[in-house]
């Protein structure tokens, strides 16, 4: 099994699921664009969760797939899985929070994990280029 492909597929699924949830929420609330300024509203939370996923998932996918093309150590598979889990934790933390202004443990874990995995993957890619 390719952990890079599995992680990529799961992160793409998360991004499409969040995007679909934004569309359904907009349709239900009859709002074609934008969102409230209220950091506790569902639309604001889902829009920001989708936006944040859109900011990080594509670069993680690119890094993972480039590394897989170059061939990496087996331990990199754990970084791929951790990156995927981090994105799910982050999205869950945003959606489960009462307000985006209040910290949520899952959001923190997801953010920290995303940064750590991103730096590791970036370092591996630079090392592979040398």
- CATH for the stretch 3-129: 1.20.120.550
Task: Name the residue ranges covered by the structural domains of the chain.
Answer: 3-129
pTM above 0.75?
yes
Which pLDDT belongs to residue 16?
98
Q: Is the pLDDT of residue 31 over 80?
A: no
pLDDT tens sequence across 38-91:
888 899 999 999 999 999 999 999 999 999 988 888 899 999 999 999 999 999
Tell me, what DSSP letter sits at residue 72?
-
CB neighbours of 80 closer than 8 A, spacing ≥ 6?
A: 3, 4, 6, 7, 64
């Amino acid at each position: 099994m390719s952990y890079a492909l599995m992680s990529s597929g799961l992160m793409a699924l998360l991004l499409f699921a969040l995007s679909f949830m934004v569309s359904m929420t907009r349709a239900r609330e009859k709002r074609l664009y934008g969102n409230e300024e209220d950091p506790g509203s569902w639309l604001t939370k889902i829009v920001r969760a989708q936006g944040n996923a859109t900011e990080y998932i594509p670069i993680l996918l690119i890094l993972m797939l480039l590394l897989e093309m170059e061939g990496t150590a087996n331990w990199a598979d754990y970084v791929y899985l951790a990156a995927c889990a981090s994105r799910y934790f982050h999205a869950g933390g945003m959606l489960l929070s009462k307000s985006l202004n209040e910290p949520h443990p899952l959001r923190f874990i997801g953010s920290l994990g995303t940064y750590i995995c991103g730096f590791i993957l970036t370092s591996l890619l630079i090392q592979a280029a040398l």
